[in-house]
Chain A
Amino acid sequence: MAQIFHRSINLYSKASIVAVVLLGGAAFAGLFAFERSPYITYQGVTKPQPVPFSHQHHVAGLGIDCRYCHTTVETSNYASIPPTKTCMNCHSQIWTNAALLEPVRDSYRSGRSLVWSKLNDLPDYVYFNHSIHINKGVGCNTCHGPVDKMPLMYAASTLQMEWCLDCHRAPEKYLRPRDEVFNMEYKQPANGEPVSFDGKDYTDQKTLGMALVAKYHLRNVTDITSCSTCHR
Chain B
Amino acid sequence: MAPENTKREDTCPGKKKTLDVQSLDAKALDLAAVREEIASTSGPEYWRSLEELAGSDEFREMMHREFPKGASEWLDSFSRRGFLQTMGASLALAGMTACTRQPLEQIVPYVRQPEDMIPGRPQFYASATTLGGYASPVLVESHMGRPTKIEGNPDHPASLGASDIFAQASLLNMYDPDRSQTPVYLGETRSWKNFVDQIRTRMAGQRAVEGEGFRLLTGPISSPTLANQIQALLKMYPKAKWHQYSPLHRDNVLAGSMLAFGQAVETQYRLEAADVILSLDADFLSPSFPGSARYTHDYAARRNPDAAMNRLYVVESVPSPTGVKAEHRLSLRASEVEGFARSLAASLGLGGNAADSHFLRAVADDFKAHAGSCVVIAGEQQSPEVHALAHAINAHLGNVGKTVVYTETVLANPVDQTASLRDLTQDLREKKVDVLVILDANPVYDAPADLNFADVVLNSGAGLRLHYGLHQNETAELCQWHVNAAHSLEAWSDGRTYDGSVCIIQPLIAPLYDGKSAHELVAALMGQSTLTGHDILRSYWQGQAKSADFETWWRKTVHDGFVAGTAHPAKAVTPKAGLPPLKAAAAADASTIEVSFRGDPAIYDGSFANNGWMQELPKPMSKMTWDNPGWIGPAYAARTGLKSEDMVTLEIAGRSVQVPVWIQAGHPDNAITVFLGYGRRRVGRVGNGAGFNLYAVRSSDAPWRTTAKITPLAQTYKLASTQGYQTIETATITRPVIREGSLAEYKKKPNFAQEMEDTPERNVTLYPNVDYSDPNYNKLGYAWGMTVDLGACVGCNACMIACHSENNIPVVGKPQVVVGRHMHWIRVDAYYQGDRDNPSASFQPVPCMQCENAPCELVCPVGATVHSSEGLNDMVYNRCIGTRYCSNNCPYKVRRFNFLLFQDWETPQFKMMRNPDVSIRSRGVMEKCTYCVQRITVARIDSEREERAIRDGEIQTACQQACPSNAIVFGNVNDPQSKVSKLKAQARNYSMLAELNTRPRTTYLAEVRNPNSQLESAEHAGVDSAVEQG
Contact = CB atoms under 8 A, between A and B. Distances in A.
Q: Do chains A and B touch in the complex (CB under 8 A)?
A: yes
Interface of A: 31, 34-35, 39-40, 42, 47, 72, 75-78, 80-85, 107-108, 111-118, 121, 123-125, 127, 129, 131-132, 135-136, 217-220, 222-223, 226-229, 231-232
Interface stretch (B397-405, B508-516, B862-870): B862-870
A43 B8 CA distance: 20
A127 B937 contact: yes
Contact of A42 (B102, B776, B879): B102
Contact of B107 (A107, A111, A116, A129): A116
Contact of B106 (A115, A123, A219): A115
B934 interface: yes
Interface string B769-780: 000000111111
Interface stretch (B332-340, B881-889, B940-948): B940-948
A123 B12 contact: yes
B878 A231 contact: yes
Closest 5 CB pairs of A and B: A124-B14, A226-B868, A83-B110, A78-B120, A125-B878
Given A76-B121, A113-B26, A232 B872 contact: no
12 contacts: A42-B102, A78-B119, A83-B111, A108-B111, A113-B111, A115-B106, A116-B107, A117-B106, A125-B14, A222-B777, A228-B930, A232-B934
B201 interface: no
Contacts of A232: 917-919, 930, 933-934, 937
A81 B107 contact: yes
Given A118-B21, A228-B872, A231-B919, 6 more contacts: A40-B101, A108-B111, A118-B107, A127-B937, A222-B869, A232-B918
Contacts of B936: 228
B105 A118 contact: yes
Given A83-B112, A220-B779, A132 B97 contact: no
A144 B15 CA distance: 24
B16 interface: yes
B106 A125 contact: no
B872 A124 contact: no
Given A35-B100, A77-B120, A226 B874 contact: yes
A231 B776 CA distance: 23
Contacts of A34: 97
A121 B26 contact: no
A125 B111 contact: no
Nearest to A159: B102
Contacts of A108: 111
Interface in B873-909: 874, 876-879
B108 interface: yes
A87 to B, nearest CB: 10
Contacts of B585: none
Interface in B458-484: none
Contact of B26 (A111, A129, A226): A111
A72 B15 contact: no
B362 interface: no
B874 A231 contact: yes
A85 B917 contact: no
Nearest to B872: A228
A196 B701 CA distance: 88
Nearest to A118: B105
B13 interface: yes
Interface string B1-42: 000000010001111110001001110000000000000000
Contact of A83 (B113, B778, B876, B945): B113
B104 interface: yes
A117 B121 contact: no
A122 B106 CA distance: 12
A72 B20 CA distance: 15
A31 B97 contact: yes
B355 interface: no
A47 B103 CA distance: 12
B109 A81 contact: yes
A38 to B, nearest CB: 11
B118 interface: yes
A-side interface mostly: loop
B947 to A, nearest CB: 7
Contact of B8 (A124, A218, A219, A231): A124
B104 A47 contact: yes
B111 A84 contact: yes
Contacts of A129: 937, 941
Interface string B79-117: 000000000000000000100111011111111110000
Given A226-B870, A228-B933, A125 B108 contact: no
Given A125-B13, A132-B944, A223 B778 contact: yes
A217 B947 contact: yes
B775 to A, nearest CB: 8
Given A125-B919, A228-B868, A232-B930, A222 B12 contact: no
B780 A223 contact: yes
Contacts of A131: 941, 945
A218 B874 CA distance: 21
B8 A220 contact: no
Contacts of A136: 944
Interface string B343-373: 0000000000000000000000000000000
Given A113-B26, A132-B944, A232-B933, A123 B102 contact: yes
B803 to A, nearest CB: 14
Contacts of A117: 104-107
Contact of B777 (A40, A80, A82, A220): A220
B106 A116 contact: yes
Contacts of B937: 127, 129, 228-229, 232
B874 A125 contact: no
A132 B112 CA distance: 27
Contacts of B869: 219-220, 222-223, 226
Contact of B874 (A83, A222, A227): A227
Contacts of B104: 47, 117-118
A80 B97 contact: no
A192 to B, nearest CB: 34
A40 B97 contact: yes
A80 B118 CA distance: 9
B17 A124 contact: yes
A137 to B, nearest CB: 12
Residue from A84, A124, A217, A229 having most chain B Cβ neighbours under 10 A: A124
A72 B118 contact: yes
Given A40-B100, A113-B108, A231-B874, A123 B933 contact: no
A227 B13 contact: no
A123 B12 CA distance: 8
A217 B949 CA distance: 12
Nearest to A39: B101
A123 B120 contact: no
Nearest to B947: A217
A219 B102 contact: no
Contacts of B100: 35, 40
